[in-house]
Amino acid sequence: MNPLIPKPTTGRGAFVELVVIVALAIGLALLIQAFLVKPYQIPSQSMEPTLDVGQRVLVDRVSYHFGDPEIGDIVVFHPPEGAVASNGPECGIPHLQAGEACPQPVDQESDTNFIKRIVAGPGDRLSVKHGHPVVNGVMAEEDFINPCGSLGSCNLPKTITIPQDEYFMMGDNRGSSDDSRFWGPVPRDWIIGEAFLTYWPPDRIGFL
């Protein structure tokens, strides 16, 4: 049997083939980002020391279709409009009581991406002591956070209840994080996915 000999390719044919390969590669990359895994760059200091400004992570967009988010997950999500709007209410409750975290977000979802850590879930009763969430009467043990300091948001003794299908987010840099303490829990539908791997810079490569 004679071996198959590749058919000679003209210059124009090779160019068309290259264009098709590049288009397929781009299309595949876009599909992966849209439905499976999406890269994300850390924009602020709110997650230090866990994640630094400019660090890059991969976000799993699939697993929450099969299971619920859990306390401790680092997630990328759309915050309520009150978190980013220059006018209008920040919290969905117009008049918070002294020492109370925002218990309800505004109804409108923002198109901005935030990254924070889930510290309480649906039905949990939450207050904040020295920057640590106190969930159902138990203060979280968090040796990975930056200390909160003496800011008012570091101690919120009045207990709130997280609404069903919503999650309370806090940054690990507790004294420098704009999070659910100010603009409320985040509906599950607004969560994009869980950050599971940091891939840049090279010396910080690893799972979260």
Active-site annotation, residues? 46, 116
What does each C-alpha distance from 58 to 28, 100, 106, 203 come to in angstroms? 17, 34, 28, 16
The answer to whether 92 and 81 are in contact (CB under 8 A) is no
- Dihedral of alpha carbons 66, 68, 71, 73, sign: positive
Which amino acid would we find at residue 117?
A: R
Instruction: Give the DSSP H or E segment for 31.
Output: helix 11-35
- What is the chain's alpha carbon radius of gyration, rounded to the nearest angstrom? 22
Beta-carbon contacts of 175 under 8 Å, excluding residues fewer than 6 positions away, are 131, 146, 147, 148, 149, 151, 154
Helices (H) and strands (E) in the chain, counts: 2, 12
